[in-house]
Amino acid sequence: MKFEFSGRPLLAVSMSAAVLAGCVSSAAIVPQPRAQQPAAARGPSGAVTVPIGQPVRSAMPRPAGPVDPGFRRAPAGLNDRIYELWRGFPGKTGIAVQRIDGEWSLSQRGSELFPQQSVSKLWVALTVLDAVDQGRMTLDQRVRIGPEDLVVFHQPLAARVRAEGSVTMSVRDLIETAITHSDNLANDSLLRTVGGPTAVRAFIAKKDLGSIRFGPGERLLQAGTAGLTWQQSYSVGRNFQTARAALSAATRQAAMDNYLANPVDGASPAAIASALTRLARGTLLSPESTEYLQDVMSRTRSGPRRLKAGLPPGWQFMHKTGTGQNLGGMTAGYNDIGIATAPDGTRYAIVVMMGTTSAGIPARMALMQSVSSAVAEYHGR
């Protein structure tokens, strides 16, 4: 399969889509029409260059000497490359790129809300680490997890709970498991311990992170997206999938449409890029917590063929993925967000979010790789 973007071939990555390290299963239920990308137009949602100004200079002083040309404005041609990639991809897609050590950002559909799915685990970790910074929690604090806490979909930790009856883990180990393995049970256990969705929303508001919502937790989020009312029995085996399959096609479609139209966990690509930038600059957490969380994110195992695979040797990448439920080939959220560091130390926040798309998984990954590859190609120009 080959896509043409700006006269440049985008080769789809060939791999099995049977197993994805995301937050949900991938069973297709009902055929759904192909989503169409709106007619391309430059405007408020088009590619833009946004000056950031004083906060960059105060938080990240420039070294003495000449300022590199990419500090104040995006490299010539990068806007157009991102625009062409975005325009040629089917479905609703959002892209944002921000130079962390600079004064510019660019985006396509940057202000619109997209389902986050497991991307939202980042806000839980930030909320927990903010509580640690405030002395209200410690990384060594112990958390008990029992059968009553089990959730749905990707939760490798559940096997230990079932085998041992209950598991007690430190907050530190839960963060590691939630971020690097995208474990829903570890994440919901952190969420419960820090004070629930209300605490995360309060953190987002306190830090003025902008257009970032936080949902009701994994169980209620996934049940609502499927058209179900949560029951704890759904956390056992494939009970959730069985109950979902028993729903009528109309019920499933209506629930999915409602979620996509107004995602309770929605966030804008531009807001996420800004939050990643502030994390990297050290203005969200203490220096110790900032370094710790970025170290954890650098070990993320999910999505190795997404943004990370588009970066050339010598670049580093720390990130968080998110993958939603499937319905007839459509995925309610297929995302990757992260911080890319060039060999010279320059950093970029890169966000690609797919609200809906009819493209296959190899093509989705290929688009993400093309975005990160473009950032690397134009770096230093």
pLDDT above 80 (res 90) = yes
Question: What pLDDT shows up at residue 11?
Answer: 37
Average pLDDT on 294-312 reads 97
pLDDT band for position 61 (cuts 50, 70, 90): very low
pLDDT above 60 (res 245) = yes
d(CA 120, CA 306): 17
* 175-204 pLDDT tens trace: 999 999 999 999 999 999 999 999 999 999
Round the CA-based radius of gyration of the chain to a whole number and report it. Answer: 20
The percent of residues above 90 in pLDDT, for the chain, comes to 79
d(CA 246, CA 227): 11
- CB count within 10 Å of CB 46 equals 17
Question: What pLDDT shows up at residue 7?
Answer: 36
User: Which CATH number goes with the domain that contains 316?
Assistant: 3.40.710.10
Of the candidates 161, 162, 164, the one whose C-alpha atom is nearest the C-alpha of residue 174 is 161
Question: What pLDDT shows up at residue 57?
Answer: 33
* 219-243 pLDDT tens trace: 999 999 999 999 999 999 999 999 9
Q: Answer with the residue of higher pLDDT: 218 or 31.
A: 218
- 302 and 318 Cβ atoms separated by less than 8 Å: no
Helix, strand and coil percent figures for the chain, each rounded to 5? 40, 15, 45
Average pLDDT, the chain: 86
Read off the tokens for 352.
Answer: 């690609």
Question: What pLDDT shows up at residue 67?
Answer: 61
Question: What pLDDT shows up at residue 19?
Answer: 34
Window from 40-44, 127-131, 147-151 with minimum mean pLDDT = 40-44
State residue 322 phi and psi, 5-degree precision: -155, 135
Residue 195 burial class via C-beta count within 10 angstroms: exposed 0-12, middle 13-18, buried 19 and up: middle
If one counts the domains in the chain, the total is 1
pLDDT band for position 47 (cuts 50, 70, 90): very low
pLDDT above 90 (res 269) = yes
3-class SS at 236? coil
pLDDT above 60 (res 33) = no
CA distances from residue 339 to 71, 233, 313, 365 in whole angstroms, order as listed: 17, 38, 15, 17
Window from 75-79, 192-196, 281-285, 355-359 with minimum mean pLDDT = 355-359
pLDDT band for position 380 (cuts 50, 70, 90): confident
Question: What pLDDT shows up at residue 3?
Answer: 38
**What is the pTM assigned to this prediction?**
0.84
Domain holding 260, by residue range, is 2-378
β-partners of residue 167 are: 145
Q: Answer with the residue of higher pLDDT: 324 or 54.
A: 324
pLDDT band for position 66 (cuts 50, 70, 90): low
- CB count within 10 Å of CB 52 equals 18
* 311-360 pLDDT tens trace: 999 999 999 999 999 999 899 999 999 999 999 999 999 999 999 888 99
Strand 114-115 with 266-267, pairing: antiparallel
The percent of residues above 70 in pLDDT, for the chain, comes to 82
